[in-house]
A and B are shown apart, each in its own frame.
Chain A
């Protein structure tokens, strides 16, 4: 038994050395589509039906500067395969991206708050593209079919595909249709690094992103293991160690395209409130605090950093949080972008603390900035009763 284990370990380490030195090539040609009569053709058919539903789904963000940017970046990284990949930005605050066998790629909005720059975004997209280029989905689908028995598999597979969009992502992963195995994930990591490095992006971005993800998860001890994402992906520590091996081969690319980097960050900043409101609503306060710290370090606008730190304190409602929220809102209220919402929240917090005059002033400031606010009746009610 011990001998077997040592042999396995030896084999695994040899395999990883071999993988580290390997230069990956795609296993399918550009424009690939399987014969419809094959099992792969059948899988594609199901995924294509799902993609059709997705095209009219309200849960997809379309035609924004951010989606255009994503499409361009994916196209650039995919090279000759650009025409085979379609990227969909899914409204979902969780950290994830996924790749389907027919070239459909999903990127969650939650990813955009977690990648610091175009390099880190590229690292995730490169990883997903690698799954496509190495035909991981069909390989895994065939494995799952073998182990489950064909009849049971088709039943579960079809049920999953008829689920709604949000349910689908979960159920498909649950039945193993899209759940890549550890080897495939490791290969996608290595190939992903190759893809971004050869397109002028910093290969070290894959490590900085995973370090951050680890920090965010570490911020909350209460939950992690049940997340499908983490259940199906390699252990973060192992992953970072192996990614470091891969990036050594490429060295650091000189930053020739600074404007590109700024463009992504600016696009995130432009959509920041919408993205962050959804993140805060998850009530994952420790993780969100970690995220805001990172955004501050990146250099996202001070107004947004102060305002969302205030929001975090106000919504967490632990001892001392309201005081901290008031201090931060006061600062955020001095910036044009966050003034209105800050004044309104200050108004409510002052009422809680019995500071009626201050509350009145804050509400008046709020209505001065946004006289047509949809909650003006509520604010006017307080302005009248706080006399």
Chain B
């Protein structure tokens, strides 16, 4: 019995996710519609109740995290630590605050110790709405350089966002054009 639970724990720690194909084409994920131009793998991992994770080569190498329909007072990731609570979304937040919300949430998901450089906050015109987009670069706790691209769209006082994060070398630039095309096709 003990062995089984150790195995289960090891499996959890090693993130034994299972995957299904998300073929190229039109999708609607967490209320966000978009078009992908290549195949992705939908992972069983989640970062919160209203999230879905896609990857090409495994979550640690590259992942697209979709988080949709966050209401006023809710967090974008599930809070795991009382010491380091996740910041809450407010419906009246402006783009600078939304960027801080995402950055602090990411930091706190890693013990508050990641030093994240967030830059290039800018508007992105989408069909029927305006989104806000910015870039991040940081070293994860293993010392791996990572880059991320995030798009955030508020609709009916709810926050919707997609974060693409990947190893800075090879895996980020490899998908950058595809991610840009997914973000540009976003509709809510």
A-side residues, CB < 8 A to B, are: 53, 56-59, 91-94, 164-167, 170, 222-223, 226-227, 278, 281-283, 315, 317, 344-345, 348, 351-352, 374-375, 377-378, 381
Contact = CB atoms under 8 A, between A and B. Distances in A.
B112 A281 contact: yes
B83 A164 contact: no
Given A93-B112, A278-B115, A281-B103, A378 B95 contact: yes
A348 B113 contact: no
Interface string B135-171: 0000101110100000000000000000000000000
B96 A348 contact: yes
Contacts of A167: 141
B174 interface: no
Contacts of B94: 348, 351-352
Contacts of B50: none
A59 B111 CA distance: 14
A56 B142 CA distance: 11
Nearest to B125: A381
B139 A59 contact: yes
Given A91-B115, A281-B112, A351-B94, A375 B145 contact: no
A166 B132 contact: no
17 contacts: A58-B145, A91-B113, A94-B113, A164-B142, A166-B111, A166-B141, A226-B83, A227-B83, A281-B104, A282-B84, A282-B112, A317-B90, A345-B96, A348-B94, A352-B94, A375-B119, A377-B122
Given A164-B141, A283-B84, A381-B123, 7 more contacts: A166-B111, A167-B141, A226-B82, A283-B85, A352-B94, A375-B119, A377-B121
B120 A348 contact: no
A375 B119 CA distance: 7
A1 to B, nearest CB: 37
A281 B99 CA distance: 12
Contact of B132 (A164, A348, A378): A378
Nearest to A222: B82
Contacts of A164: 141-143
Contacts of B132: 378
Across chains A and B, which 10 residue pairs bring their CB atoms closest together, nearest first?
A377-B122, A58-B139, A375-B121, A164-B141, A374-B119, A381-B123, A378-B121, A164-B142, A166-B141, A166-B113
Interface in B2-48: none
A93 to B, nearest CB: 7
B97 interface: yes
Contacts, number: 75
Contacts of B185: none
Interface residues of B, number: 31
B141 A165 contact: yes
A375 B113 contact: no
A348 to B, nearest CB: 5
Nearest to A224: B83
Interface in B56-105: 82-85, 87, 90, 92, 94-97, 100, 103-104
Contact of A58 (B97, B103, B143): B143
Nearest to A223: B83
A282 B85 CA distance: 9
A377 B83 contact: no
Most chain A beta-carbon contacts within 10 A, residue among B92, B97, B103, B145: B97
A377 B141 contact: no
A345 B99 CA distance: 13
A317 B100 CA distance: 13
B103 to A, nearest CB: 7
Contacts of A381: 122-123
B104 A92 contact: no
A344 B142 CA distance: 34
A381 B132 CA distance: 11
Contacts of B142: 164
Contacts of A222: 82
B139 to A, nearest CB: 4
Contacts of A345: 96
A99 B92 CA distance: 46
A108 to B, nearest CB: 10
Contacts of A226: 82-83
User: Which one of B84, B103, B141 has the highest number of Cβ atoms from chain A below 10 Å of its Cβ?
Assistant: B141
B120 A375 contact: yes
Nearest to A53: B143
A59 B85 contact: no
